[in-house]
Amino acid sequence: MKPKKIVLIGGPATGKTTLIEALKARGYQCMEEISRQITIDAQKNGVKQLFLEDPIWFSQQLLDKRKKQFFESEALDEDVVFFDRGLPDIVAYLDYIKTDFGKPFIAACENHKYDQVFILPPWKKIHKTDNERYESFKQLMIIHEYLEKWYHRFGYNIIEVAPGAVEDRIEFILNSL
């Protein structure tokens, strides 16, 4: 039996990675966010913000790696696997920056479905920027709308995880499975 695929979504700096790390500490199998590493690798090659400079190339790299994570998760002997972002995030971000994207991006989202989606809303108290996370809080609010729009378009029922202590958020997610 394939594990249940649970994806945590939300704009930058909403607590996704913190929750993923806490879930891993509890023994859950988690697929980490990979866009940060793609950005860091590009910065080592002199490209400050690859997503802004070549959004399609960046997104294709992300698509390939997220699909790989999706397939790897199916081979795991686990009841549940958590993902730090999913395939529809890619389309949402491309739409957010008004970049045309091809049918392969849509097809990937339609052909690789997650079982449950939890969204972490913008939370000003924890929002911060860094070398890879450059979006302002205002931009984060807009990205949140695009994420909801695209996950809904792909037929997902999104469950919102209220801001709060990490343990409270994890308990809410686990109790909702």
pLDDT, tens digit, 9 for 90 and up, residues 37-54: 887 777 787 777 767 678
Q: What single letter denotes the amino acid at residue 108?
A: A
- The pTM assigned to this predicted structure is 0.91
Domain ranges of the chain: 4-176
Which band of pLDDT confidence, cut at 50, 70 and 90, is reported for residue 133? Answer: low
- Say how far apart CA 90 and CA 96 lie, in whole Å: 10
Say which residue the tokens 């979006």 belong to.
135
**pLDDT value of residue 120:** 96
- Say how far apart CA 155 and CA 120 lie, in whole Å: 18
Say which residue the tokens 């002199």 belong to.
46
Backbone angles phi, psi at 118, to 5 degrees: -115, 130
Q: What is the CATH number of domain 4-176?
A: 3.40.50.300
DSSP 28: -
- pLDDT, tens digit, for every residue of 143-166? 999 999 999 999 999 999 999 999
Say which residue the tokens 């984060």 belong to.
140
